[in-house]
Amino acid sequence: MVEYFVLLDPAGTPLKLFRSMLECLTWKTTQRFYEDPIIHRVHQKPDGSLAVQIIRVGKENFG
């Protein structure tokens, strides 16, 4: 299954592409964000098409 995580700034600009959520969150903790980042999970559905899931991550979830 194809799965990527794209970290976006609050304006919706893609910042970086990751292969795992852990890698994404680890990178995020090394950066300074003044607003909550938005993560898009892009994954392959069983029929082969791609789906996008929007994950909003609050500061309370990780420093």
When pLDDT is averaged across residues 31-52 and rounded to a whole number, the result is 83
pTM of this prediction exceeds 0.85? no
Rounded mean pLDDT of the chain? 80
14-31 CB burial, b ≥16 within 10 A, e <16: eeeebeeeeebbeebeee
- What is the distance between the alpha carbons of residues 44 and 14, in angstroms, rounded to a whole number? 20
pLDDT at 8: 85
pLDDT band at 37 (very low <50, low <70, confident <90, very high): confident
Residue 11 scores a pLDDT above 50: yes
Residue 33 scores a pLDDT above 80: no
